[in-house]
Amino acid sequence: MDNGLKAKDPDLSVDLGGGLALKNPVMTASGTFAYGEEASKYLDISVLGAIVVKGISLEPRQGNPPPRIVETPSGMLNSIGLQNVGVDVFLSEPFLGERGATVVVNILGSSTEEYLKVAELLSTDSRISALEVNISCPNVKEGGVQFGMNPDMASGLIRSLRETTDLHLMVKLTPNCGDIVGIARAVEDAGADSLSLINTITGMVIDVGKKRPVLGSVVGGLSGPAIRPVALRMVYEAVGAVDIPVVGIGGISETDDALQFLIAGAAAVQVGTATFLDPCVPLNILEGIRSYMIDGGMSALSDIVNTLELG
Ligand SMILES: Cc1cc2nc3c(=O)[nH]c(=O)nc-3n(C[C@H](O)[C@H](O)[C@H](O)COP(=O)(O)O)c2cc1C
């Protein structure tokens, strides 16, 4: 400011409802920050809005066969699958919450019963602030159909989870469904506190010399800047369809990217693939949003969120 007065520090806090209040809107995305311990060597993770940890299932899982990652134009394709240490080991290990971070645990399951059991066990731990429900998992009992592709299945799962836990339920939507608005409305009606989107977009890469798929599991999930316009469009549509907060995810790599999602109506954002290049990207984005607000004389995030001008 050139009037000699110190700019007032803007209020970056955001209340996502259902007991989840964040100091600011910048979170890490599940599966890209592991359990947060590694990254805490490089940055003070407690400064971020929240750390969303890798998806946790009831039992440990090995994930998919290698190779599991391939670089693509402006992004990457991964087929890590559901690899994780399982809920018991997760709860017994040193914990991010002890470093002052707000912890959101991403959960997954192959049946409603598995999701419920994982949620029940995690709900006993006061260091956990919220559950992010990954509904991109196949329901083995129903023949491998993904929960997130079908509004009835998605809503049945969230309704059962709502009865099982008092933790904030953030439901993570898959872009690989035909109708993002239909799924968004179904999980809102079933009791979700917030939505997060998008998960990765299914894709494939072929090694022409070998005439073989590059990934061991043939197809994988596309992430990174390549998916950002798709993610932004879906967030914009979801915001217009539901009354609960929407968290934007997909290719966010710098401040302007995050601002686009906030202007489109996202209450907060998650940063994923970009942290592979530099684990400090979420912090840089947080500082970028703060500077943008100071420069624009804004006092609260509501000065940015859902301010898209049309026409
Ligand atoms: C290596 C890798 C692992 C992931 N694991 C999970 C996961 O366990 N659960 C989940 O809901 N999303 C998972 N995701 C999806 C991300 O959280 C995020 O939704 C997606 O990558 C899009 O964001 P980005 O472009 O910023 O990475 C994973 C993504 C990557 C790249």
Q: Is 129 in the pocket of ligand 1 (CB under 6 A)?
A: no
Single-letter amino acid code for the residue at 233: R
Looking at residue 15, its pLDDT comes to 98
Average pLDDT score over residue span 217-243: 97
Residue 147 has pLDDT above 80, yes or no: yes
Residue 94 has pLDDT above 90, yes or no: no
Average pLDDT score over residue span 44-58: 94
Q: Is 109 in the pocket of ligand 1 (CB under 6 A)?
A: no
Atom of ligand 1 nearest to the CA of 30: 17
Residue 227 has pLDDT above 90, yes or no: yes
Which range has the worst mean pLDDT, 32-36, 168-172, 201-205? Answer: 32-36
Q: If you measure from the C-alpha of residue 45 to the centroid of ligand 1, how many angstroms do you get, rounded to a whole number?
A: 18
- Domains of the chain with bracketed CATH: 14-62+83-201+225-303 (3.20.20.70)
Residue 2 has pLDDT above 70, yes or no: no
Q: Is 174 in the pocket of ligand 1 (CB under 6 A)?
A: no
Is pLDDT larger for residue 243 or for residue 97? 243
Looking at residue 82, its pLDDT comes to 86
Instruction: Give the whole-angstrom CA distance, residue 135 versus residue 150.
Output: 10
Residue 98 has pLDDT above 90, yes or no: no
Indicate which residue's Cα is closest to atom 19 of ligand 1.
Answer: 199
Residue 39 has pLDDT above 60, yes or no: yes
Q: If you measure from the C-alpha of residue 57 to the centroid of ligand 1, how many angstroms do you get, rounded to a whole number?
A: 16
Q: How many CB atoms lie within 10 A of CB 225?
A: 17
Using a cut of 0.75, tell me whether the model's pTM lies above it.
Answer: yes
Residue 304 has pLDDT above 90, yes or no: yes
Looking at residue 6, its pLDDT comes to 47
Please check whether residue 221 is in contact with residue 137, taking contact to mean a CB–CB distance below 8 angstroms: no
Annotate the chain with three-state secondary structure. CCCCCCCCCCECCEECCCCCEECCCEEECCCCCCCCCCHHHCCCHHHCCEEEEEEECCCCECCCCCCCEEEECCEEEECCCCCECCHHHHHHCCCHHHHCCCEEEEECCCCHHHHHHHHHHHCCCCCEEEEEEECCCEEHHHCCEEHHHCHHHHHHHHHHHHHHCCCEEEEECCCCCCCHHHHHHHHHHCCCCEEEECCCEEEECEECCCCEECCCCCEEEEECHHHHHHHHHHHHHHHHHCCCCEEEECCCCCHHHHHHHHHCCCCEEEECCHHHHCCCHHHHHHHHHHHHHHHCCCCEHHHCCCCCCCC
Tell the residue number behind the tokens 């596309």, with chain if given: 222
Q: Which one of 26, 108, 118, 137 is the catalytic residue?
A: 137
Is pLDDT larger for residue 120 or for residue 40? 120
Structure tokens at 8: 């007032």
Q: If you measure from the C-alpha of residue 256 to the centroid of ligand 1, how many angstroms do you get, rounded to a whole number?
A: 20
Q: Is 28 in the pocket of ligand 1 (CB under 6 A)?
A: no
Looking at residue 311, its pLDDT comes to 86
What is the arrangement of strands in the sheet containing 201-204, beginning at the earlier edge strand? 69-72, 75-78, 219-223, 201-204
Please check whether residue 260 is in contact with residue 17, taking contact to mean a CB–CB distance below 8 angstroms: no
Q: Is 249 in the pocket of ligand 1 (CB under 6 A)?
A: yes
pLDDT band per the 50, 70, 90 thresholds, residue 7: low
The question of whether 280 is a catalytic residue gets the answer no
Is pLDDT larger for residue 36 or for residue 268? 268
Q: Is 168 in the pocket of ligand 1 (CB under 6 A)?
A: no
Q: If you measure from the C-alpha of residue 175 to the centroid of ligand 1, how many angstroms do you get, rounded to a whole number?
A: 12
Looking at residue 97, its pLDDT comes to 63
Instruction: Give the whole-angstrom CA distance, residue 83 versus residue 254.
Output: 28
Looking at residue 5, its pLDDT comes to 45
